Amino acid sequence: MPRGGVLNFTSPIYYLFVLITWIVFTFVGGRRRWIVLLVASYLFLATFSQPAAILALAAVTIVTYGFGLLLRSRTDAREKRVVWILGIAINLALLIASKSTTVLFGAANRVLGIAPPPSATSWIVLIGLSYYVFQAISYLMDVYLERIPAERHLGHFSLYLGFFPKLLQGPIERAGAFLPQLAASPEADPTAIRQGLKLIVFGLFQKVVIADRLAVYVNTVYGSSGNYQGWPLIIATYFYAMQIYCDFSGYTDIARGVARCFGINLMLNFRTPYLSISVTDFWRRWHISLSSWILDYIFRPLQLRFRRAGKWGVAAALLIAFALCGLWHGFTATFLVWGALQGALMGLSVLLRGKWAALCKKARIPVWLPPDGLRMLVTFHLVCLSWVLFRSRTIHDAWYVITHFVVGLSPRNLPSAILLYGDSSALGKFIVTCALLAFFAAIELQRFRGKGLADFARARALRGAFWIGMCCMVLMLTLGSGSFIYQKF
């Protein structure tokens, strides 16, 4: 997997690149700004030294653009359907080929001991492919269903698929929201830039201060999970839950912040997901661009097909849709089971919906629901359990972790679990990490209540101090450095 070129989101060179692009963008007239962004996007991709990725993006762009225009020109429903299916099939074929070949190479390596040459991997694991192919599919679906008109401007369409802030890990934008912004010529006003800069700083805080330092512990434990039991597995699982959130949410905030500096709004990808009151609610708040894509383009058509089966049909549609969502992350058993588990939990809630109320009614007692706090706690732990599957290399490893959570869970063993954070500095790292997580939790609560990051402070100076503190933490409290988790999907 290509880890990232010189323009990694956490490298200073990336921000120099953004600054230079922004200066050129500002000096170029409104109607031609898309050219600056498109050139910057392809330059950005070129820094990964993967010619195949550039070719793939260009190919997907041209094919999808062409099929979009074809869909627009056809009036016959049957012809239209054929064009639509063909366009989607080409995109899916590329995605499946890329994902499955990696798995096949891995299997060949394991079984036959034949490792593919690195050059082969760089041709197959294409940067950002999963994200822009999903955008391309959603575009063709929307054009086919006449939700949006086909885009005529090839430059705008190319930028929709390849806009550099969202190229590597999304958000998976919808054409209906993105293309009108380009048509209206994006304008970077001071308010947008201010919002963008705040998002970038907060994104970096999540990634380099929280996610990367949690990764140090998580990688130690999950790297050889069979050696541990009890506390290390519990701590590593909680840490991983926060790591994956801060890693991905941090990336998204940086992407949204950079886009905002160019006057473009990217969609919100996370809304305090760990404060969800059910698994269904969690998926309304987690990786929103993917979950809404899954719901719109997989779940709803399936639901329509299974409508005669009533609630069971809905549950089955959820199960299939989220199993496929799992496979989108990678063609492995762990991802498949992880996705199916999400679908099963949601399906279960659909099947049980109304049953509880009916039971209370039958017993002639008022309908009682657990308080939201308790529901949040249960949902958070269900999600944490499912992350075990997501993080483990095999189902066997995941099963080992789940069955060894409570083995040797004595307070006496806690210090040695903390010392896994490293050497003699482990306790210091652990304490600072916990303090940072508490700080982050306070921010999440603030956001859950619909307030801004620094809204706790009324005085302007205090808000300024908050952002100075954030910048200092980004510069001074880094620990380890890693690539973004979702970049590999």
Distance CA 401, CA 399 (A): 5
What DSSP assignment string belongs to 133-184?
A: HHHHHHHHHHHHTTSSPPP--HHHHHHHHH-HHHHTT-----HHHHHHHHHT
Report cis status (omega within 30 of 0) of the bond before 117.
Answer: no
Q: Which is nearer to another protein, 112 or 476 (CB)?
A: 476
Answer yes or no whether residue 437 interacts with another protein by CB under 8 A. Answer: no
Q: How far is the CB of 412 from another protein (least distance, A)?
A: 11
**Spatial CA neighbour of 255 closest among 171, 331, 176:** 171
Among 132, 420, 429, 453, binds another protein (CB under 8 A): 429
Q: Which uninterrupted H or E stretch holds 94?
A: helix 77-111
Residues, the chain = 489
Q: Which amino acid is at 58?
A: A
Cα separation of the two ends of the chain: 10
Q: Which is nearer to another protein, 108 or 431 (CB)?
A: 431
Q: Which is nearer to another protein, 96 or 427 (CB)?
A: 427
**Spatial CA neighbour of 225 closest among 399, 471, 372, 38:** 399
Residues 314-333 binding another protein (CB under 8 A) are none
Span of 91-99, 156-164, 192-200, 321-329 interacting with another protein by CB under 8 A: 192-200
Q: Which is nearer to another protein, 106 or 408 (CB)?
A: 408
Q: Which is nearer to another protein, 76 or 423 (CB)?
A: 423
Q: How far is the CB of 190 from another protein (least distance, A)?
A: 4
Q: How far is the CB of 434 from another protein (least distance, A)?
A: 10
Q: Which is nearer to another protein, 341 or 479 (CB)?
A: 479
CA distances from 122 to 53, 125, 327 (A): 9, 6, 21
Q: Which is nearer to another protein, 71 or 214 (CB)?
A: 214
Size of the site for another protein (CB under 8 A): 27
Contact between residue 320 and residue 343 where contact means Cβ atoms under 8 Å apart: yes
Q: Which residue has the tokens 């190319």?
A: 158
Q: What are residue 87's phi and psi, to 5 degrees?
A: -60, -45
Q: How far is the CB of 74 from another protein (least distance, A)?
A: 48
Q: Which is nearer to another protein, 292 or 483 (CB)?
A: 483
Residues 328-357 binding another protein (CB under 8 A) are none
Residues 407-426 binding another protein (CB under 8 A) are 415-416, 419, 423-425
Q: Return left, alpha or beta for 370; rule: phi > 0 is left, psi -120 to 50 is alpha, else beta.
A: beta
Contact between residue 267 and residue 291 where contact means Cβ atoms under 8 Å apart: no
Contact between residue 391 and residue 247 where contact means Cβ atoms under 8 Å apart: no
Contact between residue 335 and residue 390 where contact means Cβ atoms under 8 Å apart: yes
Q: Which is nearer to another protein, 119 or 191 (CB)?
A: 191
Distance CA 424, CA 426 (A): 5
Tokens of 145: 């269903």
Q: Which is nearer to another protein, 173 or 397 (CB)?
A: 397
Span of 69-77, 119-127, 172-180, 429-437 interacting with another protein by CB under 8 A: 429-437
Among 113, 117, 190, 411, binds another protein (CB under 8 A): 190
Q: Is 92 exposed, middle or buried (0-12, 13-18, 19+ CB in 10 A)?
A: middle
Residue 413 has a CB neighbour count (10 Å cut-off) of 14
Q: How far is the CB of 115 from another protein (least distance, A)?
A: 13
Q: How far is the CB of 475 from another protein (least distance, A)?
A: 6
Q: Which is nearer to another protein, 8 or 138 (CB)?
A: 8
Residue 60 has a CB neighbour count (10 Å cut-off) of 24
Q: Is 477 exposed, middle or buried (0-12, 13-18, 19+ CB in 10 A)?
A: middle
Answer yes or no whether residue 394 interacts with another protein by CB under 8 A. Answer: no
Q: How far is the CB of 384 from another protein (least distance, A)?
A: 25
Tokens of 441: 């939790």
Q: How far is the CB of 264 from another protein (least distance, A)?
A: 18
Answer yes or no whether residue 307 interacts with another protein by CB under 8 A. Answer: no
Q: Which is nearer to another protein, 474 or 485 (CB)?
A: 474
Q: How far is the CB of 338 from another protein (least distance, A)?
A: 28
Span of 108-116, 190-198, 263-271, 363-371 interacting with another protein by CB under 8 A: 190-198
Answer yes or no whether residue 431 interacts with another protein by CB under 8 A. Answer: yes
Answer yes or no whether residue 197 interacts with another protein by CB under 8 A. Answer: yes
Q: How far is the CB of 44 from another protein (least distance, A)?
A: 21
Residues 444-483 binding another protein (CB under 8 A) are 464-465, 467-468, 471-472, 475-479
Contact between residue 228 and residue 221 where contact means Cβ atoms under 8 Å apart: yes
Contact positions vs another protein (CB under 8 A): 190, 193-194, 197, 415-416, 419, 423-425, 427-429, 431-432, 435, 464-465, 467-468, 471-472, 475-479
